[in-house]
Amino acid sequence: MLGTTAVEIDMTKVEVHLTNVRRVPQVGESYDIVEIETDRGTTTCRYYAAEAARAGLVLVGGTGGGFDTPARDLYPRLAHDLRNDRISTIRVRYRHPADLVESTVDTILGMRYLESQGIRVLGLVGHSLGGGGGDPGGGERSRGQGSRRDRHADCRDGAGRRPRGACGNPPPSRGR
């Protein structure tokens, strides 16, 4: 994962030089702390590793900072439960929660960390700033993103199809 990552955010090229990555187990918790050090500062994450995972989810919050979560601790519950489905999750704590560019950099660093752990299919869920600022496309709609900026998730498979019952796509009727 070390090296340089270049991203374009709102037509501004940003280079991030990764210097160190630390994973620190947390006794009695279902996550490890991951610290991703760069020339822009250290991004701290909570990583919920799933055994044999090939899919992963990045969860980002809003301008409140910290490990922000909506709906009565939805993110930690979701991250814990998804491990049973072989989906690893990383919760990203923004270094500068009111800064769109830096928050986007933090989100991308979380994505890169999951990729470094063998994750090949990524999803992104955000609320508040994370619903638009956590979007690596800068808030623009692109394949795999829902239409609501404040609560979007990557709900499509690798072919761009929406599975029935996912993200508001109604499940098939049961013939009633």
Instruction: Give residue-wise pLDDT tens across range 126-160.
Output: 876 655 544 444 443 333 333 333 333 344 444 44
Residue 48 lies inside a defined structural domain of this protein: yes
Give the total number of structural domains in the chain. 1
Residue 174 lies inside a defined structural domain of this protein: no
Residue 139 lies inside a defined structural domain of this protein: no
What would the two tokens of residue 26 be? Answer: 């947390």
Residue 147 lies inside a defined structural domain of this protein: no
Which stretch of DSSP H or E encloses residue 122? strand 121-126
Give the residue numbers spanning the domain of 105: 3-132
Of 14 and 147, the one with more pLDDT? 14
Of 141 and 25, the one with more pLDDT? 25
3-state DSSP: the chain helix, strand, coil percent, rounded to 5? 20, 30, 50
Mean pLDDT over 17-31 rounds to 95
Residue 106 lies inside a defined structural domain of this protein: yes
Do the beta carbons of residue 46 and residue 61 sit within 8 Å?
A: no
Task: Indicate which CATH number applies to the domain containing 38.
Answer: 3.40.50.1820
Instruction: Give residue-wise pLDDT tens across range 54-85.
Output: 999 999 987 777 666 665 678 888 898 999 99
For 10, half-sphere exposure in the C-beta direction (CA atoms, 13 angstrom radius) is 13
What span, in angstroms and rounded, lies between the C-alpha atoms of 169 and 176? 18
